[in-house]
Chains A and B, each alone.
Chain A
Amino acid sequence: MSDKMGKGAFFRAAVFLAAIAAPLVIGNIYWTSALTLILINVLLAVSLRLIVLIGEFSLGHVGFMCLGAYTSALLTMKAGVPFGVGVVAGGVMASLVALALGYPFMRVKGIYFVILTVMASESFRNLALNWEAFTGGFNGLVGIPAPGTLKFPWIGDVDFGGFIEYYYLTLAVVAVSLFLMSTLEKSRLGFTWRAIRETDVQAGAVGINVLRYKVINFAVACFFAGIGGALLAHSEQTISPQAGSAFGVMTTMYLLIYMVVGGKSRFSGPIYGAVVLSLVMEFTRPLQQVQPMIIGFIAVAVVLFFPDGMVSMPGILRKRLSKTQKPFEVKAADGARKG
């Protein structure tokens, strides 16, 4: 058991080191900013999975991204608030709205909840689209400030507005967020969430305030969605509420697909899904019009043949291979079977 854990930690460390080295190795601004976006996708996909822990899922994650993005953008643009505060404020705003909506939303059965999240998300986007005085309306916001410079002891001044610097900033934020979410999932809170997913009636009967725990879960997940949105805003430096933008329904669909294709049963699932599918999206960019179709086919194929996602593939392959390889071993096991 501790051997497995050792392997897991080693793997994770290796991945983290690769992530740190990547922009330096690749040395190309386009890819660095693409990697930044991939990191943000990872954050969004993992936070989406948090909601699956209580047995629900949300198709409205982009709405909360939108809230986070606009909050941070407006605060930094109009009120001169520093970057760090803006991003956190974006997360807080998203989670406050999630808290408020959570109480009516979580009272209804599964599929209704999904529909409500879609409605909410589209409503937020439509609001941004139409509230011209405040949000710039159809054209969105342009010229969102990049994060400023910070003084570091040995390195001197670091301007986080540069692509590579922003990548590392994003990496730090995403890594911390993943750590927080992973800790929560393994904690008593996560345990209670999973109990609620199993049977919320019995959970209530042992004194768990099911509604409150579900709403907390939703608020936490949307907090990280807000952070993701804010990071996106400061990375692209423009945001737009149009239907085809990052805050449209397409993104929400992609995020759900990243999560399910990667595997919803494990924490690492959405990470794989987000990275692999984002890379697929990058490489199929020249085929822009067919791009959604490719992702769509992947989604349908995975769901039909590998329902537990990418993380289950090694296990399935291992089983298939062992079936073909070991007729002798089975016999030996039979002979040596414990009485």
Chain B
Amino acid sequence: MHGVVMDLSAQMIWQGVVNGLALGWIYVLMALGLTLIFGIMHIMQFAHGEIYMIGAYVVYYLCSGLGLLLVPAAVLAMLCLAGFGLFLERFLFRRLKEDWLAAVVAALGLTLILQSGAVVVFGLYERSIPVLAQGPLNILGTVVPKDRVVAVAVAVGLSSALYIFLKTTKYGQAMVASAQNPEGAMLQGIGPDRMAALCMAIGFALAAAGGTLAGALFTISPYMGLSPLIKGCTIIVLGGMGSLPGAFIAGMTLGLIDGLVPILFGHAWAAIGPLLVVILILVIKPQGLLGHE
């Protein structure tokens, strides 16, 4: 194991930080969708990583096949996957409301289907989609890649939009109420099934956005969904389920760990770093950083 801190420049550290922030925000988009779905439907949507992956591929085909620009392609992909979420809620998850182990298995089955389907349809080799932005950006005297910054901006924008939606609109408030207490939402005149459909649609759209961003920053492959899924889940545990601010803090922390630890301490520590951090936090506070109950 390399415990030796390598020859660094401030440049590399900044790169690590910005990389970490971009990664962190992409993870946060995953975590938000997972939290919504778990909070309202009480199932862990383990196939979320595949939704992220398919979002990226849809954008790829829209851009390279139909010649669309990145932004409209991304929006279309988000709508597409939101629709898929509605479909799945109606025909799969609605029937499994009672048994959470069954729902997990269904989600896993879905993962297998989507992932192998992707390999068959899209092929194994990596592709890329149009970049978010070209070239470097000058911040505070150091040079960082512009596309990372744009990714962060987009993710922040989407998260804020979600936040506003949850706080101000009738449906949003009902969703928050429903997560605390399923009957509460019904009092507002919105049935649990509609809540579930809505949260799946939103969650899937966010995952598709995350996949698009990741695809634009890095590359696309049928297996790209596993890691963000685990990171998303890690964030939920760290930040405390049901706590949006917790998700943000945890997401940033995790992103920074992923961005900086390999540079500072080597990849071996990066492998178990997050696990050790999570264990440490859970020992001190079993509800997660900002969780309740």
**Are A and B direct contacts in the complex by CB distance below 8 Å?**
yes
Given known contacts A107-B286, A127-B272, A119 and B233 CB-to-CB distance under 8 angstroms: yes
Chain B interface secondary structure, helix, strand, loop or mixed? helix
**CB neighbors of A among B75-133 (8 A):** 92, 95-96, 99-102, 104-106, 108-113, 115-117, 119-120
> Of B1, B104, B287, which one neighbours A133 at CB under 8 angstroms?
B1
Given known contacts A115-B234, A119-B274, A249-B226, A299 and B101 CB-to-CB distance under 8 angstroms: no
Given known contacts A111-B38, A292-B112, A300-B110, A57 and B101 CB-to-CB distance under 8 angstroms: yes
Among A72-80, A85-93, A154-162, A256-264, the one that faces the other chain is A256-264
Q: Are B112 and A293 in contact (CB under 8 A)?
A: yes
Number of interface residues of B (CB under 8 A): 47
> Of B105, B267, B270, B278, which one neighbours A256 at CB under 8 angstroms?
B105
Q: Are B109 and A119 in contact (CB under 8 A)?
A: no
* Neighbouring B residues of A127 by C-beta, 8 Å: 268, 271-272
Over the window 264-294 of chain A, the binary record of Cβ atoms lying under 8 Å from chain B Cβ atoms (1 yes, 0 no) is 1000000000000000000000000111110
Over the window 275-293 of chain B, the binary record of Cβ atoms lying under 8 Å from chain A Cβ atoms (1 yes, 0 no) is 1001100110011100000
Over the window 89-107 of chain A, the binary record of Cβ atoms lying under 8 Å from chain B Cβ atoms (1 yes, 0 no) is 0000000000001001101
Asked if A8 is an interface residue, CB under 8 A from chain B, the answer is no
Given known contacts A115-B236, A127-B271, A304-B96, A104 and B120 CB-to-CB distance under 8 angstroms: no
Given known contacts A299-B109, A304-B106, A123 and B275 CB-to-CB distance under 8 angstroms: yes
Asked if A328 is an interface residue, CB under 8 A from chain B, the answer is no
* Neighbouring B residues of A110 by C-beta, 8 Å: 100
Asked if B223 is an interface residue, CB under 8 A from chain A, the answer is yes
Q: Are B116 and A293 in contact (CB under 8 A)?
A: yes
* Neighbouring A residues of B112 by C-beta, 8 Å: 250, 253, 292-293, 295-296, 299
* Neighbouring B residues of A112 by C-beta, 8 Å: 236-237, 241, 288
* Neighbouring A residues of B271 by C-beta, 8 Å: 123, 126-127, 129-131
Q: Are B275 and A131 in contact (CB under 8 A)?
A: no
Asked if B166 is an interface residue, CB under 8 A from chain A, the answer is no
Chain B, Cβ-Cβ closest to A103: B283
| Minimum CB–CB distance for A85 against chain B, Å | 27
Q: Are A296 and B274 in contact (CB under 8 A)?
A: no
| Minimum CB–CB distance for A303 against chain B, Å | 5
Number of interface residues of A (CB under 8 A): 46
Asked if A114 is an interface residue, CB under 8 A from chain B, the answer is yes
Q: Are A131 and B278 in contact (CB under 8 A)?
A: no
| Minimum CB–CB distance for B80 against chain A, Å | 21
Q: Are B116 and A303 in contact (CB under 8 A)?
A: no
Q: Are B278 and A119 in contact (CB under 8 A)?
A: yes
Asked if A82 is an interface residue, CB under 8 A from chain B, the answer is no
Q: What are 10 of the A-B contact pairs (CB < 8 Å)? A: A104-B282, A107-B282, A114-B104, A119-B278, A129-B271, A131-B268, A260-B101, A289-B119, A293-B117, A299-B112
User: Apart from A256-B108, A293-B112, what 11 extra A-B contacts exist at CB < 8 Å?
Assistant: A112-B288, A116-B237, A119-B275, A120-B275, A129-B271, A131-B1, A256-B104, A264-B101, A296-B108, A299-B108, A300-B109
Contact surface of B with A, Cβ cutoff 8 Å: 1, 38, 44, 92, 95-96, 99-102, 104-106, 108-113, 115-117, 119-120, 223, 226, 230, 233-234, 236-237, 241, 266-268, 270-272, 274-275, 278-279, 282-283, 286-288
Contact surface of A with B, Cβ cutoff 8 Å: 52, 57, 101, 104-105, 107-108, 110-112, 114-116, 118-120, 122-123, 126-127, 129-131, 133, 243, 249-250, 253, 256-257, 260, 264, 289-293, 295-300, 303-304, 307
